[in-house]
């Protein structure tokens, strides 16, 4: 089985900076990690590979600047077989639609039976890229995957989280699933895995390698219909009011009085 996992290299901090002109994230100088949901997707892929056996492989794909190869090498050190970096200046500033267009073009150049992405990225929280990749590739999809119940060479059965209940969905392969962090607890890198990761060549696909299927007007800022009107950081909360030295009954009365004052009750 050929499994492809799309991951994102995301900032590991809340102290992000935004370009005041383009309203895009300034990544220079920010420490980065593999997105949490994506890392669970890697682990799920590795477990499926171990279960199915044979000539199964896991290929990890990441779109980003050259330094994103660190995330790919971490995935290789966990046990992935191949790594592909989608990197080009033309890809800069892409929103979710443009990003999914680029990633789908990259994945289309690979052999795959199953594509796994994270549910959403911690620096965007849109949960749009995975389903959009599936649409571009014409694949059936299952989002919010919490458990792989069964997997064969022909189909996959997935437990999907859905509000206050679950869906158990059987899908014919090839298909795409988006992973929750609960899907699988990621394993640690091994010493042998780290050595292998830095001895493995990472395939880099730039715009020139994909321009036959990537019109410039569909990628980057030009291909991004999303317009950010205003960006701002989290606002600090006020200190609030501290009511000290009250008995439990007095505290209850004080809370009720405040709720009545705000017309909450």
The predicted-structure confidence for 74-104, as pLDDT tens digits, reads as follows 999 999 999 999 999 999 989 999 999 999 9
| Res. 163: pLDDT tops 80 | yes
Provide the β-strand partners of residue 210: none
Average pLDDT of span 215-233? 82
Average pLDDT of span 249-253? 92
Q: 110: which DSSP letter?
A: S
- Give the pLDDT band (50/70/90) at residue 241: confident
Decide: 200 and 58 in contact? Cβ < 8 Å: no
Superfamily (CATH H level) for 2-218: HUPs (3.40.50.620)
- For 13, residues 6+ apart whose C-beta sits below 8 A from its C-beta are 30, 31
Distance of alpha carbon 63 from alpha carbon 6, whole angstroms: 8
Distance (Å) of CA 158 to CA 145, 149, 185, 200: 6, 5, 17, 32
- For 204, residues 6+ apart whose C-beta sits below 8 A from its C-beta are 84, 85, 87
- At how many degrees (to 10) do helices 36-52 and 69-78 cross? 40
Flag whether the pTM goes above 0.85.
Answer: no
- Please state whether beta strands 57-63 and 2-7 pair in parallel, antiparallel, or not at all (unpaired): parallel
| Res. 208: pLDDT tops 60 | yes
Instruction: Name the residue ranges covered by the structural domains of the chain.
Output: 2-218
């Amino acid at each position: 089985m050929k499994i492809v996992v799309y991951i994102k290299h995301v900032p590991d901090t809340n102290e992000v900076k935004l370009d005041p002109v383009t309203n895009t994230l300034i990544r220079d100088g920010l420490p980065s990690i593999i997105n949490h949901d994506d890392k669970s997707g890697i682990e799920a892929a590795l477990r499926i590979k171990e279960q199915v056996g044979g000539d199964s492989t896991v290929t990890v794909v990441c779109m980003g600047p050259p330094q994103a190869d660190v995330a790919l090498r971490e995935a290789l050190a966990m046990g992935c077989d191949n790594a592909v970096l989608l990197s080009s200046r033309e890809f800069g500033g892409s929103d979710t639609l443009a990003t999914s267009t680029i990633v789908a073009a990259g994945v289309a150049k690979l052999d795959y039976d199953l594509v796994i992405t994270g549910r959403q990225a911690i620096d965007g929280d849109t949960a749009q890229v995975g389903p959009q990749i599936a649409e571009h590739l014409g694949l059936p999809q299952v989002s919010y995957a919490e458990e792989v119940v069964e997997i064969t060479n022909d189909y996959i059965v997935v437990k999907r989280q859905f509000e206050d209940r679950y869906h158990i969905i059987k899908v014919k392969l090839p298909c795409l699933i988006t992973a929750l962090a609960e899907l699988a607890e990621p394993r640690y890198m091994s010493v042998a895995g780290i050595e292998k990761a830095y001895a493995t060549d990472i395939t880099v696909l730039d715009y020139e390698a994909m321009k036959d299927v990537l019109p410039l007007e569909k990628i980057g800022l030009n291909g991004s219909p999303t317009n950010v009107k205003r960006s701002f950081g989290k606002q600090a909360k006020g200190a609030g009011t501290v009511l000290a030295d009250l008995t439990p009954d007095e505290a209850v009365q004080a809370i009720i009085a405040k709720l009545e004052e705000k017309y909450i009750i």
